[in-house]
Amino acid sequence: MRLTSIGSTQLRMEGIDALEIHFAGSHQPRPLADQGRDALTDRLGLVPITYREPGRTRVRPPAVNDGQPGWIASRSLDVHGRPVAWVFTGAPPEPDGSQVFVDDALAVTSTNHAQLVAGAAYPLFYDTLFASLRQVLADAAVAAQQRKDGL
């Protein structure tokens, strides 16, 4: 895992992917890409966030609510060295570094699941994700699609 100069790192959220706001000098369909970003920052309690023009792709520091409480559960890194993580808001259930088993009941409380419920992301599964967790996430995505929410 690689840390930035301020001790942070990028995460790869387990079981989901989202539209890119910037990628190789372009972006994927807006407003869906912006809505996905905004759903994530809202869920994490980071709003309001101001963005730099043009394109509203970079945060204009400082983010007023940066540092909201939350925790991740991860057991692997992707090919770019990012933790593949379940992301949760609030206080962790165990001390930092403890083993936490992500079962179906815990998965539905995750930000990962919430992004699919909102139609703000689509499912993307590594073959190491347990079948029951894949099903929980797939069901959330199908429900959003049937409601015609977001993606």
Residue range 25-76, pLDDT digits in tens: 666 777 888 889 999 999 999 888 888 887 777 787 777 888 889 999 999 9
The fold of the 12-147 domain, in CATH, is OB fold (Dihydrolipoamide Acetyltransferase, E2P) (2.40.50)
| pLDDT on residue 26 | 62
Partners of residue 26 on adjacent β-strands: 23
Say which residue the tokens 């815990």 belong to: 106
Q: Is the pLDDT of residue 124 over 80?
A: yes
Q: Is the pLDDT of residue 87 over 80?
A: yes
Distances, alpha carbon 26 to alpha carbons 17, 33, 38, 42, 150, in Å: 17, 12, 19, 24, 20
Tell me the domain boundaries of the chain. 12-147
> What backbone torsions phi and psi does residue 131 show, to the nearest 5 degrees?
-60, -40
